Amino acid sequence: MTVAGLLLDLWTKQMIARSLADGHVVRCVGDVVQLILVYNKAAVFGIDPGRFIPGFSVGKVFPFFNLIAAVILVIYYRYLRSADRFLHWSLACILPGALGNLFDRLFHPARGVVDFIKVDLGFRPFNPWPVFNVADALVTIGIILMAASFLFEGDRRKEALPNGPVSTKTP
């Protein structure tokens, strides 16, 4: 999953960067889903921390942050129990997302990260949602799966106790 996600992200970015003029819109599902080429030199959702933190350089800090995050994810993955399927899938989604955007920041620092998927559902906060790419979608899916894992893991642990859930209330 990780390799496939990374290859899909890199391939779609390359395809869009080669075939779509900067700012040109291709409607896929009317005005709801569109393809538009945007080069993002900032951080998540195009936010530039340099506007708030003097001297902060996204181009210098984020590649380092992405690399550290990728190493931590790989180490964490190695120590997961086989029963933690949601966590396995979540990390298998987050890692290619982190690596895909790291690739853009390292190998194309002048242009930034290629974003190209625009979604506008016609109501806030989705009108429009910030333009994103496959890597961003994978990270988002991975975080949702991770949250689900943490929610369900607590329930599984309670059910696994020999006498059922333990009450923490005092008489």
Q: Residues with catalytic annotation? A: 115, 136
CA separation for the pair 7, 32 (Å, rounded): 26
Say if residues 149 and 90 touch (Cβ distance below 8 Å): yes
Rounded Cα distance, 132 and 115, in Å: 5
First-last CA distance in the chain = 50
Q: What is the DSSP letter of 41?
A: -
Query: What is the Cα–Cα distance from 108 to 123, expressed in whole angstroms?
Result: 34
- Dist CA 30 CA 20 (whole Å): 18
Contact 105/66 with Cβ under 8 angstroms?
A: yes
